[in-house]
Structure 1
Amino acid sequence: MKLVFMGTPDFAVPTLTEIVMRGHEVIACYTRAPKPAGRGQAERKSPVHLAAEEFGIPVFTPKNFRDPADVAVFAALGAEAAVVVAYGLLLPLAILEAPDKGCLNLHGSLLPRWRGAAPIQRAVMAGDRQTAVSVMRMEEGLDTGPVSLIDIIPIAPDMTAGELHDEMMRTGADLMGRALAALERDALEFTPQPDEGVTYAKKIDKAESRIDFSRSAAEVHNHIRGLSPFPGAWFEIVRDGKPVRVKALRSAVVEGDGAPGTVLEGLVVACGGGAVRLTRVQREGKGAMDAEAFLRGMGDLRGAVVG
């Protein structure tokens, strides 16, 4: 089919690759505009932008679609369908209705649970035991469109959001490929989302990444793995009279009793109920390391209070 692809981060790249490899004609790629990044603040193209250039696909980076000229350019492409994966812009009705077969979105949740910006992190932080990648036909509402295909993905007790992200982007690429094959045959069926079970996955706020050890060990563990590796759940510990910020990247729920935030032994920290063993951490300005390497540099922390 003659397609337009719309996406921005690395999560979207396998899907773009999949549909190109399946022989579809991707006539244009829409992505977010390059942004200054790094110490030199040089403009950096998105992962989808770079992948599209490798495939020789024309790239468009409108700031939004409020300008009628941008809408007209999109409509003039004459795409049969658009594939949208983590694009990062809300699409107006004029864009959604332009392709003959509509716009298909790959969403990282078991809809209608976790509609919105951060479904992967929110599912892990909530302690969900399973999630999914879903293909839906886009509407003006936020992830409200009818769903066609779903692949269920189990969430292991110690799986991080980063690991789930990688699993989803591989599974989702194949799922979208199958959806397009059915769409090409006019055999892709859609089912409206149920009204019950709707939850929203709001964008992760940096303010919520600090660890609250007064919560139960299970909640702290889910918080840590749900924000690993980015932005990273963190705590502070005082060293030589100065607070040191430390990201917790991996943890395990263990037995332990003490005032919340107290280091019981090694990097075992008491919580509101039980304790967590921090197994991989990252001190501010340093690389990620195992707990043993961290403690060699910090010394015996038994009895210290973190938070």
Structure 2
Amino acid sequence: MRLIFMGTPDFSVPSLNALHEAGHDICAVYTRPPAKKGRGMSAQLTPVHECAEALGLTVFTPENFKTPETVSMFASHQADLAVVVAYGLILPESVLSAPVKGCWNIHASLLPRWRGAAPIQRAIMAGDMKTGICIMQMEAGLDTGPVLLRQELDINDTDTAADLHDRLMWLGADAIVEAISAHENLQPIQQSAAGVTYAQKINKQESRINWSQSASQLDCFIRGLSPFPGAWFDADGDRIKVLAVRPIESSSEAKYKCGEVLDSGNGKPIIACGRGALELVRLQRSGKSAMTGEEFQRGKSLKPGTLLS
């Protein structure tokens, strides 16, 4: 097929490579404009931009699709299909309908569950046991279009957002190649009105740990936010990210307050929760590298009896 590819972060790169390797004619690659970063505020290309240049593909970086000129340029590619994965810009109807077969989105959830910006994190945070990839025909609504292909993936009880991101990234690349190969036989399935949930963007304040939740709930919460933005708590005015924990199911914490530091007897930080307790396995202080719980205790000890807010 003659394709337009639209994506921005690392998650999009395997799909671009897979479509190129499959022999499709990628006539244009759309990605977010270079961002100024670092001390020198130098322009940094997106991962998709770098990949496209390495493949010798033509790259476009519009700020948006609000001008007739930008929409006209998009239509002028005369593509059969546009593939969209984590692009980051809203596409108007004039863009969605420009390619012959419209725009297909690679979405990292089992729609209609977790429509929106953060489906990978939200699935783990909610304790879901399954997720997957949906190839969806895009329409004006937020991830509301019919599903063309669905592939499921188990969520392991140790998966972090980073782990699941990488597995879904490769599954998405395989799924889009399969979907395009079988496009003549695909039967679009309208999403059910039941079971719709929204994966709102994660904000830093939401990422604060609430110790009154159970150890198992907090385990899912912390894994779903690891490594970024990272679940956190305050200790003596220092914001501490928690990147990995080990739930401890016990009835002994009933005499302790939620958020109380327990005496582990082995130099490992253990915190009482609403039910059970958590061993803090990997942490990160502000401006510091990640460290083990034992290393953290040697440098900034959480003394038994301390109550974390």
- TM over 0.5, yes or no? yes
The structure 2 residue matched to 1:262, chosen from 260, 263, 278, is 260
- 2:283 alignment partner in structure 1: 281
Distance 1:289 1:133 in 2: 33
Distance 1:94 1:299 in 2: 58
What percent identity do the matched residue pairs reach? 51
Gaps of 5+ in 2: none
Q: Deviations over 1:106-162 (max 9, x none)?
A: 000000000001000111111111111110111111000100111111111121111
Kindly indicate whether residue 132 of structure 2 is the aligned counterpart of residue 132 of structure 1. yes
Contact between 1:136 and 1:149, CA under 8 Å: does it hold in 2? Answer: yes
Q: Deviations over 1:260-280 (max 9, x none)?
A: 111113211111111111111
Contact between 1:237 and 1:305, CA under 8 Å: does it hold in 2? Answer: no
Give the 3-state SS of the residue equivalent to 2:185 in structure 1: coil
Amino acid paired to 2:244 = R
Gaps of 5+ in 1: none
Contact between 1:146 and 1:192, CA under 8 Å: does it hold in 2? Answer: yes
The structure 2 residue matched to 1:187, chosen from 176, 179, 185, is 185
What is the Cα deviation at residue 34 of structure 1? Answer: 1.0
TM-score by length of 1: 0.95
TM-score by length of 2: 0.95
Distance 2:154 2:34 in 1: 35
- 1:305 alignment partner in structure 2: 307
Distance 2:103 2:215 in 1: 42
| Structure 2 counterparts to residues 1-307 of structure 1, below 5 A | 1-183=1-183, 186-238=184-236, 243-256=237-250, 257=253, 258-264=256-262, 265=264, 266-299=268-301, 301-307=303-309
Amino acid paired to 1:145 = G
Contact between 1:217 and 1:253, CA under 8 Å: does it hold in 2? Answer: yes
Amino acid paired to 1:267 = P
What is the Cα deviation at residue 59 of structure 1? Answer: 0.8
What is the Cα deviation at residue 217 of structure 1? Answer: 1.4
Distance 1:50 1:160 in 2: 27
- Give the count of matched residue pairs: 301
Q: Deviations over 1:168-216 (max 9, x none)?
A: 0011100111011112xx2222111111000001111111011111112
Amino acid paired to 2:97 = E
What is the Cα deviation at residue 306 of structure 1? Answer: 2.2
Distance 1:119 1:44 in 2: 26
Distance 1:163 1:304 in 2: 33
Which deviates the most, 163-172 or 210-219? 210-219
What is the Cα deviation at residue 295 of structure 1? Answer: 1.6
What is the Cα deviation at residue 300 of structure 1? Answer: 5.8
Aligned pair in 2 of structure 1 residues 300, 200: CA closer, same or farther (>3 Å)? Answer: closer
Amino acid paired to 1:106 = I
What is the Cα deviation at residue 255 of structure 1? Answer: 3.0
Contact between 2:269 and 2:302, CA under 8 Å: does it hold in 1? Answer: no
Distance 2:41 2:284 in 1: 24
Give the 3-state SS of the residue equivalent to 1:120 in structure 2: helix
Contact between 2:215 and 2:249, CA under 8 Å: does it hold in 1? Answer: no
Distance 1:279 1:233 in 2: 13
Contact between 2:261 and 2:302, CA under 8 Å: does it hold in 1? Answer: no
Q: Give the alignment's Cα RMSD to 1 decimal.
A: 1.1
What is the Cα deviation at residue 40 of structure 1? Answer: 2.5
Give the 3-state SS of the residue equivalent to 1:36 in structure 2: strand
Give the 3-state SS of the residue equivalent to 2:182 in structure 1: helix
Distance 1:300 1:64 in 2: 48
What is the Cα deviation at residue 222 of structure 1? Answer: 1.3
Distance 1:207 1:36 in 2: 26
Aligned pair in 2 of structure 1 residues 182, 271: CA closer, same or farther (>3 Å)? Answer: same
